[in-house]
Each structure stands twice: as C-alpha cells, then as structure tokens.
Amino acid sequence: MDQDQLEKNKKKYKKAIEPFQPKPSYFKNCFKAFLIGGVICAIGQGIANLYIYYFDLTEKTVASAMLGTLILIASVLTALGIYDRIGQFAGAGSIATVTGFANAISSSALEHKSEGVVLGIAGNMFKIAGAVIVFGVVSAYIVSMIRLLVQTLIS
C-alpha cells in the first residue's frame, strides 16, 4: 500500500468514526477548571491568612510559607491518589497552579521509586517538570533583560 492510499484510508476512517465520538463540553470544562483553580487559590489565601494571624508573618514573607504548604498538601494528595481524581475532574484548573507542578514532580517520583533513590526517583523526577523549569528560567531571564533595557532607556 503506497503512502497516498494510506492517507486516504486514514481520512476515511476519521470521517467514519466522527459521528460516534463524544463532543467536548467546552463551557462545562472551563467552568470546572475555573471553579477548582479558584478553590485552590482560595485555600492558599486561607493558609496565608492563618500564617499571618497565628505566626505573625508579614504579607511579604507569608508567600513562601503558603506555597510550601500548598506543595506539601499536593504531594501528599498525589501519594494518596486523590490529586489524580481532582485533575481528572478539573483539568487545567488543577495543573495551572503550583499544586499542579508539585503533582507532576511527585507523580514522577512515585512512578520510578522501585528503581531506587538515585536512578529512580532523582533521575526521573524532573523529566516532566524539567521543561517547565527550563522555560521558566529562560523566560524570566528574557523578561528581566527587557525590563533592564527599558529602564536604561527611560532613565
């Protein structure tokens, strides 16, 4: 079978199965993502408020403690298998926050724990999240260089 015939068969197959595929509910998916993402952010704000009230942290210093707590909670929920169910329900609403990043790293570590600490967990933990880290660092560098250039030109 040549390449043209193969492409024609692929197109025929896609057209034949199209009526049987479920149509995604974009509004419903966006609403669920917005709802769960908002709940995660509200929980983070609640944790920050508790740290400010009970531990006398300032609004500037509370962010690190709150983010660390959210990362810990997401990692524990990932280990218990709960965060996966949240992610299936919420979609992008659960991965757009720092908890989604913690879930990606924790799930990779859990998946490869049978291979040992160094080669399994440490070697594979950043496979998924590594790209996020690299692009985050690169984009932060580019934005900071643009800001420095603009500040230099203005003053």
Task: Compute the distance between CA of residue 89 and CA of residue 36 in angstroms, rounded to an integer.
Answer: 9
Sign of the alpha-carbon dihedral angle for 20, 36, 75, 103: positive
Provide the percentage of residues in the chain whose pLDDT is more than 90: 48
Under the banding of pLDDT at 50, 70 and 90, the label for residue 114 is confident
Task: Compute the distance between CA of residue 109 and CA of residue 103 in angstroms, rounded to an integer.
Answer: 10
- Once rounded to an integer, what is the mean pLDDT over residues 11-28? 87
Q: For residue 13, is pLDDT > 80? A: yes
Using a cut of 0.75, tell me whether the model's pTM lies above it. Answer: no
Exposed, middle or buried: residue 98 (CB in 10 Å: 0-12, 13-18, 19+)?
Answer: middle
Q: Which of 22-26, 133-137, 144-148 reaches the highest mean pLDDT?
A: 144-148
- Which pLDDT score is estimated for 61? 92
3-state secondary structure at position 1: coil
128 residue type, one letter: I
Task: Compute the distance between CA of residue 128 and CA of residue 126 in angstroms, rounded to an integer.
Answer: 5
pLDDT tens digits, one per residue of 45-101: 999 999 999 998 998 899 999 999 999 999 999 999 999 999 999 988 888 778 888
Cα dihedral 103, 108, 109, 113 in deg (nearest 10): 140
Domain ranges, ordered by start, for the chain: 36-126
What is the average pLDDT score of the chain? Answer: 88
